[in-house]
Chains A and B, each alone.
Chain A
């Protein structure tokens, strides 16, 4: 990418708060603040962390039958998605691989979609091309802020009482400090929390108001990654990509029964075959027994010494207090409890396959 990195409406605030800025998917984003990744991670598990996720793509879909059109490019059910509800889904390609994962919300007179920062350039044209009769509008004048953690309800609810009554995967428009914001009760940390879409000219003021709460501290991309990894949530480009199918990635929970049975989405042939017969590999949790973190690309061997897969995400889990990882292993392997070996810098290190997530998800059901 040759363009200068872009800045979100909160850039100056990050710098003021001591954020260490790095280039991420073409955006200048804070990887951490003075508290440090470990502290920010624990803050989010115990109280609340605030993340700037304005680099993600916010998109409005308008048309007579957006839901039906979306079902042509994503394998979840949208015609039954009620107003005020959000759903995790993904775009699949003709080979049944995953083009990107995203959140789709039924906002009543339109659908609201949030896609990964790194895939905006692909997803917007993809939707514009395939969603017939749908007006696809990318939003450039709103920040997106995530407040995550057990105190998120108080941090957000103090400024927006309507937020308290929301449940996991619900979305609504509400007033915060005199401004119309879209709140969605979801996130990417395994904790309760909200993602809040805020007009850019009010983003700093509202963010400061959240941070003024005793329980809320800013958190960067470093903590976001360790939190989502402990929560067993996939990162597009690491754990899922154009080659991995939803069956391999254990994401079939995001495909409702009718969609599994009827198909009618790109790559349905492969995905339905894998649903019936099993996939050639599957994504599993992996817990190294020693202290050495196993990072992306580390080879996974079975007890007999044959290569059975590779790590796709790995690092240190601050809440677990030990290294944690996810990776693919071939069919016939992958039952929790299976002993494996990880080849880290040429040395074989013992590890065990475990059920995901590594920490209990604390959603407001």
Chain B
């Protein structure tokens, strides 16, 4: 199990050909209090860079961009009723999708934790 990070402040934890995706604590802190999360549905396919959801905080709306090509295999349903979980536990219970990777080679474009820490300073 390895965790990667994207420049869009997402974490991607990979087990086999499945990845769990969420936003980082840093992203959640920057967004402020989150009041709504719009998610795609299981079965939806997408390419890296596609918009795959929207997070709304009291301040503004922010898009979620796909860090990799893939297909959504599971959607975290707790976010529909309790979007605030994204503030409390963005790197834990409040994961957003489980996705089936289309091209594992794309993982090489992502950062490790040290790289991500350097990015956010």
Residues of A whose CB lies within 8 Å of any CB of B are 31-32, 36-38, 222, 226, 291-293, 295, 315-316, 318, 323, 345
B38 touches A38 (CB 8 A): no
B33 interface hit (Cβ, 8 Å): yes
Q: Which residues of A contact B56 (CB under 8 A)?
A: 292-293, 316
A291 touches B35 (CB 8 A): yes
Interface residues on B, range: 10 to 19
Among B36, B38, B56, B58, the one with the most A-chain Cβ atoms within 10 Å of its Cβ is: B58
Task: Give 19 CB contacts A-B under 8 Å.
Answer: A32-B32, A36-B32, A36-B33, A36-B58, A37-B32, A37-B58, A37-B59, A38-B58, A222-B32, A222-B59, A291-B35, A291-B36, A292-B56, A293-B36, A293-B56, A293-B61, A316-B35, A316-B56, A345-B38
Distance between A145 CB and nearest chain B CB, rounded to angstroms: 23
B58 touches A292 (CB 8 A): no
Residues of B whose CB lies within 8 Å of any CB of A are 32-33, 35-36, 38, 54, 56, 58-59, 61, 80, 83
A323 to B35, CA, bound (A): 9
Pick the contact of B36 from A32, A226, A316, A318 — CB < 8 Å? Answer: A316
- The chain B residue with its CB closest to the CB of A290 is B36
Distance between A217 CB and nearest chain B CB, rounded to angstroms: 16
A128 to B59, CA, bound (A): 37
A292 to B35, CA, bound (A): 8
B83 touches A291 (CB 8 A): yes
Q: Which residues of B contact A293 (CB under 8 A)?
A: 35-36, 56, 61
A291-B80, A315-B58 given; name 14 further pairs at CB < 8 Å: A36-B32, A36-B33, A36-B58, A37-B32, A37-B33, A222-B59, A291-B83, A293-B35, A293-B36, A293-B56, A293-B61, A316-B58, A323-B36, A345-B38
Q: Which residues of A contact B36 (CB under 8 A)?
A: 291-293, 316, 323
